[in-house]
Amino acid sequence: MSRLTKKQAVYILAIILAILQIFFGKDIPLPKVSLIPTNTPTPIITIIPYEKQKVKVIRIVDGDTIEIEGNKKVRYIGINTPELHDPRKPIECFGQAASDENKRLVEGKEIYIQKDVSEVDKYKRLLRYIWIADPLTASDEAIFVNDYLIRQGFAQVSTYPPDVKYQDQFLEAQKEAQENKRGLWNKCPIKY
């Protein structure tokens, strides 16, 4: 049997990491592997840790969607807020409040976004988790916006596989909001 090239070893390592993630859960982010060519014919393998991307929020679309620099829309993963802009029906109960709270939290700010598995939804919006401040460097100031909106009763849990990294946390946040009758759980007729 012949020896593996470094390129083949990288592919095998990536496959092994993917298999480990499948069997041991979505909470283990896969590292990004890139091959950086050098002057030598053998590539250098660089493992880039799973990171959050820092972006600036340009405007708020509604309670669970924003527009960031570059005219890209971002849909918050794992949550759903009452509808605000559906031309087929009136603004839903607590829709304006959810949009206003999202605006208060992130409009005009630099935030951190994190991908789960899917890149975009059927409307070509980026699917991301949202943080105010990086939790790795500013843990006291960091707010996990997706969780916050659920926990404070501005949103309900709405997860779609494969993007379920924080599903259990979101379900716990919703339970807390319901038990404490926060936000839409207090103000809106129960239809959720």
Please report, for the domain that includes residue 72, its CATH number: 2.40.50.90
Task: Tell me how far apart the alpha carbons of residues 115 and 94 are, in angstroms, rounded to a whole number.
Answer: 27
pLDDT category at 23 given cuts 50, 70, 90 is low
Helix (H) or strand (E) holding 64: none
Residues 75 and 168 occupy one common structural domain: yes
Sequence length of the chain is 192
* Average pLDDT in the chain: 83
How far is residue 127's CA from residue 53's CA, in Å, rounded to a whole number?
13
pLDDT at 112 over 50: yes
| Nearest alpha carbon to residue 30 among 115, 113, 111, 112 | 115
Between CA 106 and CA 166, with CA 158 as vertex, the angle to 5 degrees is: 70
What's the pLDDT score for residue 9? 65
Residue 101 lies in a domain: yes
pLDDT in tens, 29-83: 444 444 444 443 433 333 334 578 999 999 999 999 999 999 999 999 999 999 9
Report if residue 135 sits inside a domain.
Answer: yes
For residues 148 and 129, the answer to whether their CB atoms sit within 8 Å is no
Helix, strand or coil, per DSSP, at residue 21: helix
- Model confidence at 12, pLDDT cuts 50, 70, 90, reads confident
Whether 44 and 98 share a structural domain: no
The angle subtended at Cα 120 by Cα 178 and Cα 29, nearest 5°, is: 75
Same domain, 24 and 87: no
User: Of the ranges 6-15, 41-50, 90-99, 162-171, which one carries the lowest mean pLDDT score?
Assistant: 41-50
**Which residue has better confidence, 176 or 2?**
176
Same domain? 113 vs 150: yes
Measured CA to CA, the distance from residue 68 to residue 127 in angstroms comes to 12
CB 137 within 8 A of CB 97: no
Q: Which domain holds residue 95?
A: 53-187
Stretch 165-190: mean pLDDT:
95
30 & 104 share domain: no
- Same domain flag for 137 and 106: yes
How many structural domains is the chain composed of? 2
pLDDT score of 16: 72
Residue 115 lies in a domain: yes
Q: Do residue 66 and residue 42 come from a single domain?
A: no
The residue among 31, 48, 65 that closes a domain is: 48
Residues 41 and 114 in one domain: no
* pTM for the predicted model, two decimal places: 0.73
Looking at the chain, the number of H-run helices and the number of E-run strands are: 5, 10
Q: Minimum mean pLDDT among 139-143, 162-166, 174-178: which range?
A: 139-143
Q: Does the residue 1 lie in any domain?
A: no
**Predicted confidence band of residue 190 (pLDDT cuts 50, 70, 90):** low
Is 94 among the domain residues? yes
Stronger pLDDT, 22 or 78, i.e. the higher one: 78
User: Is the CB of residue 114 less than 8 Å from the CB of residue 78?
Assistant: no
Q: What is the pLDDT of residues 119-152, one digit of tens each?
A: 999 999 999 999 998 877 877 788 999 999 999 9
**Tokens standing for residue 58:** 């340009």
What does the angle CA 21 – CA 157 – CA 180 come to, to the nearest 5 degrees?
125
Identify whether the C-beta of residue 170 lies closer than 8 Å to the C-beta of residue 139.
no
